[in-house]
Structure 1
């Protein structure tokens, strides 16, 4: 039995208008699948499914280089304009011209300055062609135009917590790199080989569940805690 439509007053909207104004349900992504069953699809952004590293903005080096270039160019332009206006050149430029005229190319000061300039240029080129952000590990992608990353400190903390759950482990130290995860554990009971086997299994599953695009190699070292001195 259907309920008859209620009469609407002058200030109340019609039922059709209420349905049109009612908020639509928000569609959410299905996150019920566990990380162990994570099977990402190929990337469709045109890079052939390859997950690349995040690029650093490098605001500080860019700002410093811009300030040095702008300051030097402005000072040199002002001096050139002053010379064109029949004024004497700045003392520093005249002194620098006299020193450059006297110095030879094989002097230590000239070679040291050239080497420093070359190293600075190589460092700037290295910053320009490398992505940087070494502390951020790229994760696998299951949808195009969506990128995610995991900090190395967070990944090391996950591995440490998972290692502490293994029976017999007293303390753990984890060093997480981009290509290798080094784990050093102290076992105060149980056989070391058994503890190492359990750690290999637990930490291998943890690395897989992190969802990293390039899972690092795992190196596990197990030893006894140092004996207390009496």
Structure 2
């Protein structure tokens, strides 16, 4: 058994340098955004219905609802630099930007698009499933005691605790095994692999 080391070797390379199978990617999967869409639709429907009822009541020679008279009076009397006016404008802008962001971003960040062997086939791999596969492959390497994997869209961070063997040897074996595992995931753009190996009791 080798003596405890004072250094922490880190391998940070891009397995994407190995040419993947010739196939296009599936592209990001778009979220349906059902909850935000339902909330916005309900709010707009309620506001439109209430305003339509009030307008119909005024046309029928009945007084306008109290809230609309109070709102019209407040808008006429309050200056533009009033705190409440500025606060309402800020909230409206934030909500508008949030809705725009939901409309132009795909969402579903937990899905990794896979290579597309046929134009009519689209597939994706969950990040937690990819992380579990890399963890299992890392545990198969001799000398590995525990593994933590953090899978992102463009980077796979693997933190390993080794209780015997030379750290450099363990790191080299891990890089080889995990590079092969990443290529087998079927991703069009394999993430950058970062491998860090430490001894028990050390933080890396």
Match in the other structure for 1:136: 111
Say yes or no: does 1:51 pair with 2:26. yes
Looking at structure 1, the residues matched to 19 and 172 of structure 2 have their Cα atoms a distance apart, in angstroms, of 23
Q: How does 1:33-48 map to 2 (within 5 A)?
A: 39-41=21-23
Q: How many residues align?
A: 185
Unpaired stretches in structure 2, ≥5 consecutive residues: 1-17
Q: 1:186 aligns with which of 161, 183, 192?
A: 161
Say yes or no: does 1:122 pair with 2:101. no
| Greater relative contact order (CA < 8 Å, ≥ 6 in sequence) | 2
The structure richer in strand per residue is 2
Match in the other structure for 1:29: none
Q: 2:194 aligns with which of 211, 214, 219?
A: 219
Query: TM-score normalized by structure 2?
Result: 0.86
Max radius of gyration: which structure? 1
Deviation at 1:167, TM superposition (A): 0.7
Looking at structure 1, the residues matched to 20 and 95 of structure 2 have their Cα atoms a distance apart, in angstroms, of 45
Please list every run of at least 4 consecutive aligned residues from structure 1 whose deviation after the TM superposition is greater than 4 angstroms. Answer: none
Deviation at 1:113, TM superposition (A): 1.1
Deviates more, 1:116-125 or 1:103-112: 103-112
CA separation of 1:222/1:154 partners in 2, compared to 1, >3 Å: closer, same or farther? same
Q: 1:147 aligns with which of 104, 108, 122?
A: 122
Unpaired stretches in structure 1, ≥5 consecutive residues: 1-35, 42-48
Looking at structure 1, the residues matched to 45 and 72 of structure 2 have their Cα atoms a distance apart, in angstroms, of 21
